[in-house]
Structure 1
């Protein structure tokens, strides 16, 4: 049960949270609307003419909207787009010292986010990509804010929204964008595997000339082929997992920014499905599917209003098997190998292109494949998303059964091109967004799943904005302590040592982003988790506090929380000497929505401690679950 919220906490923190929330335009598809049992589907539509120029000044009466073939009534209609292309970024609200927020200001119109994917792009193509990107910065329309992310085995936040070309250049040249450990060169081809090396060794050493050795060596080579195929399958799955996890995390970051977001994804892509390999003894051991994870990704992109514009960073592709510099003696030893590698190359390239096409089609974007002019592709992607129409409707079919529902948008005018997401999965928005369970036997090479909260709480990760947070971080006193605060858990693999200083983490979360249910007794209930992590400058986790919470609010208290924010306090111990960072997060365990932010201890360590009364008084917060 919650106690009364202290006035000291209420005024500087939760009141400013309410101010920040009111300053940010609310997306049409809001959580509050969903809880009111009026489910709205948001559809952004880009309309262009034959020359790919945006078509302006259309009216709602020009559009016809259908779901699964049934006409739908358009509830709201809005045209977006700044003709000058110079939409300004809203200023960040000014917070008092010690107060931080994951609120992210953005232009009032669509924003552009560039994702540089080195995980799925061969090194040689990365060099060309960087060159093309620099050319784009020189010719980009001035005044258009852009954010840049990188993707290795994790998502890297390289540059927040800016139109400064020097900052954009510095971001793309960031040394943290490492080469992929899971891909060495172009798709498919005759990359020599351990089985190939063994075959060449056997052929040149004369081992098979010995009696009885031929069958044995053939079995060894077959086993090595099996191993190679399973390793390749596992690496493909890891690439898919890392990529989808990163896009999920990016969608959570962008969900707090109202309106349409254009995600321009530079990549060599990845296959969603690994098919049976007929060249090995057990073809089905390599079979794997990322369809469940992909479904979660498209759901998150849909709810965050993100349209994906994949650009194949490899440009126009030809078979690497024709490149003599890539060839080895394996084709001389095995005449059928060339044909097999050609088939494999075209199948894999087709599967990777299909991933790009599907993601673009499912999100309302457009894929750019087999083009060497990446600058032109970027310009077309940014131009396509700069002007759009937003239509919303309440589906006539109110059953949320998880089935896919096809969306169709038609215009009275002919000869125009329409880009929009082609459907959605009718999953209940008020239930968990955890990936759907796979049916059937799992692959022997399946990659392990990743907890989205674990990813959101990583040091240096982008703030998750599905739940808006306002956080006050202040020392509880100037005292040096030899023991960590009660409830803290030290990482056993770290060498963190005292003396420590204790900090109070006062959290105010946007209640409209949190799922609550009213019970028969009239009280409101929520299932939450509050976390605070301590990291050193190298990103090593040192200390943490994790509190699962079962909240129980009376109607009067819930009304107060809707006005001032949902508060919670944690205390965390940090070593006195060194550079450290706090990662603060909240997790809605019912809907899987997340809010997180990062605070450098250097920004708060010299601030005046909390007054004694505030340090000993617990803010209005649910008690941790025992």
Structure 2
């Protein structure tokens, strides 16, 4: 049985050594004229999201560009661009009408400008505190009208995994919350690191544009994320994490789910100090010593869409891997500012997003070597998948396809599941194979248990030949093929990934499972 985290398994599956099969078909569609959304950087552009609040914690609106001053390593900088965001509109995400067992990641086409993610971290959270957090978030979802979409992640150990993808449906969020907690905290949690969790969240959100706010409910932070990375004994060890958080514009809001406690200790003070450091390092805000978790959640979600975005290009910047301190000040006093406090001068593009047809960037490695690396962002592949027990009448009556990944041999105690993929042909790079037009892509299916652990995984390399006549007459017909998996009663999630083997463009979809009992 596999015990790796989802991201570790997916990385292994993306390697060519895990491809095990190929298929042939004659599908249907035309390549899109829309290129992938990537990043190209020739000089360092620093993007800083600044939240300004008054003494009562309310967002301050209407400040002009002239009110802000920006310093890079104490040197004043000229602001290149300036934009005020006055709040995320309530963008209700209605799920597309689908038949039973069908799922899609097309919600990615309708995301709001600011994304909010909830992490429920039980690594250091007792059962009683989990029950209180469950009560408070239940009250929040029941009392608040449907509006901003949320995603819920659970960190039950080393792994952090998705419980509910972005949705504004409060019933789905409630069901995900009650599925996540309460549960017994993991053993050996004194050895767990919050660093892995942030790496995983950054990877999960890497294909989503804009600012992301992470509401991190925990029993106190163990992450030593400084707002001044220069103070580390070995700053190079932390560069990747700081680069990822900056690149993805992730602001962390640590929230102590233990509420107001009647006791205090040096350990608790240290945890609260670390929460403040994490918030300052990423441009968020820390909350602790409060029983009003519902009110805190409401305040963050209703105000974190109000901020100012500033960009500047540092004068005489040398890519030397060193930490650069960023300071933002106002000409007026009495306001509280939250923003990312620095970056590493290593060639990372940061949050400077700009659409380009192609692009690479120069990255400075720790040993001083310069390398050209491909641009890191592309549009995710939007696709559909249907997952049903093979015995389901809907699966049995579906149109038979000429392309199917070879079925796995049946296993005793397992239930055969039929997975049908429907992929857009214009998401893949066309190439010539044996004199015919074709696309080559990878597909992976990872089975997760209730703790987000990968218990089974399969990957295939699929080659599909294209019938150009069919593609010309029916450009909207997708690439379709079948896969059969053997699932157990305790399997609770199915994580699907498809990617173009040429461009690296990726699409993912997580499906909740309800595996029926084995028929006698």
TM-score (norm 1): 0.54
Greater helix proportion: 1
- Give per-residue Cα distances to partners, 1:407-465, cap 9 Å, x unaligned: 1112222222211111122233368999989xxxxxxxxxxxxxxxxxxxxxxxxxx98
C-alpha displacement at 1:147, in angstroms?
Answer: 2.7
Q: Is the 8 A contact 1:471 1:505 kept in 2?
A: yes
Which residue, out of 282, 290, 308, partners 1:389? 308
C-alpha displacement at 1:113, in angstroms?
Answer: 2.0
Q: Is the 8 A contact 1:465 1:595 kept in 2?
A: no
Q: Where do 1:445-456 residues align within 5 Å? A: none
Q: Is the 8 A contact 1:104 1:256 kept in 2?
A: no
- Give per-residue Cα distances to partners, 1:519-570, cap 9 Å, x unaligned: xxxxxxxxx994523649998765633669xxxxxxxxxxxxxxx9xxxx99
- Give per-residue Cα distances to partners, 1:336-381, cap 9 Å, x unaligned: xxxxxxxxx51x3344223312211111001112223323332332
Distance 2:299 2:81 in 1: 28
Q: Where do 1:346-357 residues align within 5 Å? A: 346=266, 348-357=267-276
Q: How many matched pairs?
A: 422
The answer to whether 1:236 aligns with 2:223 is no
C-alpha displacement at 1:390, in angstroms?
Answer: 0.9
Q: Secondary structure at the match of 1:370?
A: coil
Q: Secondary structure at the match of 1:297?
A: helix
C-alpha displacement at 1:161, in angstroms?
Answer: 3.4
Distance 1:506 1:392 in 2: 38
C-alpha displacement at 1:64, in angstroms?
Answer: 1.4
1:148 equivalent in structure 2: 152
Distance 2:329 2:164 in 1: 38
Distance 1:585 1:477 in 2: 21
Distance 1:76 1:386 in 2: 18
C-alpha displacement at 1:156, in angstroms?
Answer: 3.6
C-alpha displacement at 1:383, in angstroms?
Answer: 3.9
Q: Is the 8 A contact 2:428 2:441 kept in 1?
A: no
The answer to whether 1:119 aligns with 2:63 is no
2:40 equivalent in structure 1: 33
The answer to whether 1:250 aligns with 2:194 is no
Residue 315 and residue 506 in structure 1: after superposition, are their counterparts in 2 closer, same or farther (change >3 A)? closer
C-alpha displacement at 1:180, in angstroms?
Answer: 1.1
Q: Secondary structure at the match of 1:389?
A: strand
The answer to whether 1:584 aligns with 2:497 is yes
Distance 1:534 1:352 in 2: 35
Q: Secondary structure at the match of 2:326?
A: strand
C-alpha displacement at 1:263, in angstroms?
Answer: 1.2
1:545 equivalent in structure 2: 459
1:43 equivalent in structure 2: 48
Distance 2:419 2:291 in 1: 56
Which residue, out of 233, 247, 260, partners 1:303? 247
- Give per-residue Cα distances to partners, 1:203-222, cap 9 Å, x unaligned: xxxxxxxxxxxxxxxxxxxx
Q: Show structure 2 runs of 5+ residues with no match.
A: 1-24, 225-232, 349-359, 368-375, 387-397, 430-439, 463-474, 515-520
Residue 364 and residue 44 in structure 1: after superposition, are their counterparts in 2 closer, same or farther (change >3 A)? same
1:160 equivalent in structure 2: 165
Q: Is the 8 A contact 1:503 1:573 kept in 2?
A: yes
Q: Is the 8 A contact 2:260 2:290 kept in 1?
A: yes
Q: Is the 8 A contact 1:260 1:306 kept in 2?
A: yes
Q: Is the 8 A contact 1:253 1:466 kept in 2?
A: no
1:596 equivalent in structure 2: 508
Which one is further off, 400-409 or 424-433?
A: 424-433
Residue 421 and residue 504 in structure 1: after superposition, are their counterparts in 2 closer, same or farther (change >3 A)? closer
TM-score (norm 2): 0.64
2:393 equivalent in structure 1: none
Q: Secondary structure at the match of 1:468?
A: coil
Please tell me the root mean square deviation across aligned C-alpha atoms, in Å.
Answer: 5.1
Q: Is the 8 A contact 1:47 1:418 kept in 2?
A: yes
Residue 302 and residue 252 in structure 1: after superposition, are their counterparts in 2 closer, same or farther (change >3 A)? same
| Higher radius of gyration, 1 or 2 | 1
Residue 317 and residue 158 in structure 1: after superposition, are their counterparts in 2 closer, same or farther (change >3 A)? same
- Give per-residue Cα distances to partners, 1:184-204, cap 9 Å, x unaligned: xxxxxxxxxxxxxxxxxxxxx
C-alpha displacement at 1:162, in angstroms?
Answer: 3.7
2:81 equivalent in structure 1: 76
Distance 1:588 1:351 in 2: 46
Distance 1:105 1:368 in 2: 32
- Give per-residue Cα distances to partners, 1:93-114, cap 9 Å, x unaligned: 9999999557624554433222
Distance 1:401 1:589 in 2: 32
Q: Where do 1:450-469 residues align within 5 Å? A: 468-469=380-381
Residue 511 and residue 305 in structure 1: after superposition, are their counterparts in 2 closer, same or farther (change >3 A)? farther
Q: Secondary structure at the match of 1:132?
A: helix
Q: Is the 8 A contact 2:212 2:251 kept in 1?
A: yes
- Give per-residue Cα distances to partners, 1:36-57, cap 9 Å, x unaligned: x143221111112222222212
Q: Where do 1:357-376 residues align within 5 Å? A: 357-376=276-295
Distance 1:102 1:290 in 2: 42
1:409 equivalent in structure 2: 328
Distance 2:362 2:482 in 1: 29
The answer to whether 1:314 aligns with 2:267 is no
1:132 equivalent in structure 2: 136
- Give per-residue Cα distances to partners, 1:296-343, cap 9 Å, x unaligned: 3333222111211111111234558xxxxxxxxxxxxxxxxxxxxxxx
- Give per-residue Cα distances to partners, 1:472-519, cap 9 Å, x unaligned: 7799965799xx75xx9x899x7799999997886769799xxxxxxx
Q: Secondary structure at the match of 1:314?
A: coil
Distance 2:134 2:179 in 1: 11
Q: Secondary structure at the match of 2:117?
A: strand
Q: Is the 8 A contact 2:401 2:481 kept in 1?
A: no
The answer to whether 1:65 aligns with 2:35 is no
Q: Is the 8 A contact 2:414 2:488 kept in 1?
A: no
Distance 1:271 1:435 in 2: 28
Q: Secondary structure at the match of 2:245?
A: helix
Distance 2:282 2:380 in 1: 24
Q: Secondary structure at the match of 1:584?
A: strand
